[in-house]
A and B are shown apart, each in its own frame.
Chain A
Amino acid sequence: MKKKSVPIRVFHFYMEGFRSMTLGKTLWLIILIKLFIMFCVLKPFFFPRHLGQFRGESEKQEYVSDELIQRAIIP
C-alpha cells in the first residue's frame, strides 16, 4: 500500500488526537473561551493601543517626547 504523504499523516495525527481527547476537550474549550474573551472583548474594548490614536511614527515620536519632557520637573 502506498504510504500517505507527510502533511496528510500529520493532519490525521492531529485529527485522531483531537477526537480521542476526553479531558482535553474541556481544556480546549477553556482555552478558546479565554482567547475569545482576551482578543474579542478585552483587547478591542478595554486595551486599545494608547499610541494607536496617532497616525504614523513621527506623530507617535512627537507625542511620547512631549510626554517625557512635560512630565519632568524642568525649571
Chain B
Amino acid sequence: MIENIDTSLIDWSRAQFALTAIYHWLFVPLTLGLGIIQAIMETIYYKTGKEFWKTTAQFWMKIFGINFAIGVATGLILEFEFGTNWSNYSWFVGDIFGAPLAIEGVVAFFMEATFIAVMFFGWGKVSKGFHLASTWLTIGGATLSALWILVANAWMQYPAGMTFNPDSVRNEMSDFWAVALSPVAINKFLHTVLSGWIVGGVVVTGISCWYLLKKKHVEFALASIKVGAIFGLAASLLTVWTGDGSAYQVAQKQPMKLAAMEALYQGESSAGLVGVGVLNPAKTGYNDNVEPFLFKIELPKMLSYFAERDLNAYVPGITNLIEGGYQTDDGKTALSAQEKIEKGKLAIQALADYRQAKKDKNETSAAEARTVLDDNFAYFGYGYIKNPADLVPPVGLTFYSFRVMVILGGFFILLFIVAAILSYKNTFGGKRWLQWVCLWSIPLVYIASQAGWVVAEVGRQPWAIQDILPTSAAVSRLATSSVQLTFFLFLALFTVLLIAELGIMIKTIKKGPASSEE
C-alpha cells in the first residue's frame, strides 16, 4: 500500500521546529558566553578583593539572569513538538535520545537550579569562595545541558552506537560512549559552545561601548571591554580550530552537506574553497549543465585540504554523490543514489516481512527478513526518497549561510584583536568609530550564530536522521492547519518573550552597574 504524506505538512512542521529552535537559540549562546565572562570577573574580584570587580560581575550577572529567565524552558517546546509533530521520529529514536536527555534533565538542570540560587542570593551570605564556586558550577551546569542536547543532535547527523530492533521499531543504544563521544558530537559541542562564548564577548563589548558612547560608567565599561575582548578573541580563535574539525567531520560523514556548503556540483581533485561567490539563479537542478556560479573567488586546493587533509584529494560534488561511481576513501566504488534507494526499499520491505513473519509465528522467514534488514539498514531512509534530486538540500541557503557565519567569524576576530590591543594601550575610550562598530556587532553575532545552525540543519535535509529517516517519514500524520495554528501561536508567544527580554534588558542597561544588587 502506498500512502504519501502531504508535503505542506512536512514543510509547516519543519518551519515550526525551525522557528522554535531559532528563538531558543537566541537565549542559549548568551547564557553560555556571559556565564563564563561573569565568572571570570568574579574570579578577579576573589583574587584582588576589589569591590569594583564585584560590582562589575554583579551587573553582568543581572544581564545573565534576565536572559536566563526569559530563555528558560523555551527548549521544552521542542520536546512538545517531538511528541506531537514528530511522533514517528520520537518513537524510532526514543532510546537513543532518552539517555542523553535524561542525564541532561537530572544532572545539569539540578546543578544549574541549585547553584544559580546561591549565585544570585548568596552575596554576603556565603563565603566568597563558595559563591565563586557556585557561579562556575552554574555555568558548568548550563554547559553540561548543552553537551547532552548537542550529543543528541550529533547522533541525528551521524547515527552511531545503536542497533535497530524491528520488534520494538526502535533504535536501541548498544554503545553509550559511541553516542556520547562520537567525533561529530565532540566537534559539535566544542564549536557550538565556543560560538556562544563569542556571543558573550561581543555582547559585553558592545554594551560596554554603549556606555562609552554615552560617557557613562567609563571605568566599568573599559574594564568590561578588556575582559570581553580578550575572552572573545580566545573563543574566536578556538572556534576556527573547532570549525575546521566540524568541516572535516561533515566531509567524512555528510558529504552532500559539504557539497551544498560549497555549491560544488562536479567533484574534483585539488578542489578550491569558495571564499566569496554569487550563485547562478538559473541553476535549478544538479544535472541541468548550468554553471552554478555567476562569480566566485576560490582559495586553490583548500577544500581538498579541509575535507581530506590532503591538498590534492578528490572531493565529490552533488552530481557525483547522486550518480555514484567515484572511488571512496576506503577504496570502494561509491553507490549511486538510485542504488541506495533500492537498498532502502529492501530494508523497509524486510521490516514489513519480518513483522508479518513474527505475526505468523514463522521464525525461519523472520530470521531471513532480519538478515536482509540488518544488511541494508544503513540505507533504510533512502527507501522513502521518490527522486534522487530530493537528496539535494537547499544549496543557496546552505551556501550563503556558511559564508555569513565564516565571514562574520573572521570579522569578530579582527574586532576583538583591535579592541584588545587598544584596551591595553588605554586608547579604546577615544575611538568612537570602534565603539559604534562594537555596538552594531551585537545583532551581527546573533546572525552569525543562527547562520551556523542553518548550515548544520538545512544542509542535512532531507534527513531527520542522516541516511536512516527522512523528514517525510518522521513527521506525524496531522492536519496541516493544526501545525499552521501552532506555528503562529509560537511566533506570537516568542515575540512577546523577546520583546519582554529586550525591554527589561534595555531598562537594566540604562540603569547601569550601580544598581546591580538583586
A interface with B by C-beta (< 8 Å): 13-14, 16-18, 20-24, 26-28, 30-31, 34-35, 37-38, 42-43, 46-52, 57, 60-61, 64-65, 67-75
Q: Is the CB of B473 within 8 A of A51?
A: no
Q: Is the CB of B473 within 8 A of A49?
A: no
Contacts of A46 on B, CB cut-off 8 Å?
A: 84, 482, 485-486, 489
**Which residue of B122, B384, B476, B497 contacts A34 across the interface (Cβ within 8 Å)?**
B497
Q: Is the CB of A51 within 8 A of B349?
A: no
- The smallest beta-carbon distance between A69 and chain B, in angstroms, is 5
- Known contacts: A65-B355, A71-B5. The answer to whether A31 contacts B72 by CB under 8 A is yes
A-B contacts, 27 listed (Cβ < 8 Å) = A17-B121, A23-B518, A24-B65, A27-B65, A27-B69, A46-B485, A47-B83, A48-B84, A49-B83, A49-B84, A50-B478, A51-B90, A60-B91, A64-B88, A64-B92, A65-B166, A65-B169, A67-B473, A68-B88, A68-B92, A68-B348, A68-B351, A71-B5, A71-B384, A72-B384, A74-B345, A74-B348
Docked complex Cα distance between A53 and B125 (Å): 51
- Known contacts: A17-B117, A49-B83. The answer to whether A73 contacts B384 by CB under 8 A is yes
- Known contacts: A23-B62, A64-B91. The answer to whether A70 contacts B504 by CB under 8 A is no
**17 other A-B residue contacts (CB within 8 Å) besides A22-B518, A42-B77:** A23-B65, A31-B73, A46-B84, A47-B83, A50-B84, A61-B91, A65-B352, A65-B355, A68-B92, A68-B348, A68-B351, A69-B351, A69-B352, A69-B355, A71-B3, A72-B345, A74-B345
Q: Is the CB of B3 within 8 A of A28?
A: no
User: Which residues 120-142 of B have a CB within 8 angstroms of A?
Assistant: 120-122, 125
User: Which residues 451-500 of B have a CB within 8 angstroms of A?
Assistant: 472-473, 476-478, 482, 485-486, 489, 493, 497, 500
Docked complex Cα distance between A60 and B88 (Å): 10
Contacts of B117 on A, CB cut-off 8 Å?
A: 13-14, 17
Is the C-beta of B383 less than 8 angstroms from some C-beta in chain A?
Answer: yes
Q: Is the CB of A16 within 8 A of B504?
A: no
- Known contacts: A49-B84, A60-B91. The answer to whether A67 contacts B477 by CB under 8 A is yes
Docked complex Cα distance between A49 and B476 (Å): 10
- The smallest beta-carbon distance between A46 and chain B, in angstroms, is 5
Q: Is the CB of A13 within 8 A of B478?
A: no
Closest to A18 in B: B121
Chain B 51-68 interface mask (CB, 8 Å, partner A; 1/0): 000000000001001100
Q: Is the CB of B66 within 8 A of A72?
A: no
**Which residue of B4, B121, B348, B518 contacts A69 across the interface (Cβ within 8 Å)?**
B348
- The smallest beta-carbon distance between A13 and chain B, in angstroms, is 6
Contacts of A21 on B, CB cut-off 8 Å?
A: 518
Docked complex Cα distance between A74 and B66 (Å): 53
User: Which residues 1-34 of B have a CB within 8 angstroms of A?
Assistant: 1-5
Is the C-beta of B87 less than 8 angstroms from some C-beta in chain A?
Answer: yes
Closest 7 CB pairs of A and B: A17-B121, A50-B87, A27-B69, A47-B80, A72-B348, A49-B83, A47-B84
Q: Is the CB of B120 within 8 A of A17?
A: yes
- The smallest beta-carbon distance between A20 and chain B, in angstroms, is 8
Docked complex Cα distance between A47 and B355 (Å): 30
Closest to A69 in B: B352
Chain B 134-172 interface mask (CB, 8 Å, partner A; 1/0): 000000000000000000000000000000001111000
Contacts of B489 on A, CB cut-off 8 Å?
A: 42, 46
Chain B 395-434 interface mask (CB, 8 Å, partner A; 1/0): 0000000000000000000000000000000000000000
Contacts of B120 on A, CB cut-off 8 Å?
A: 17, 24
Q: Is the CB of A68 within 8 A of B486?
A: no
Contacts of A74 on B, CB cut-off 8 Å?
A: 2, 345, 348-349, 352, 383
Is the C-beta of B297 less than 8 angstroms from some C-beta in chain A?
Answer: no
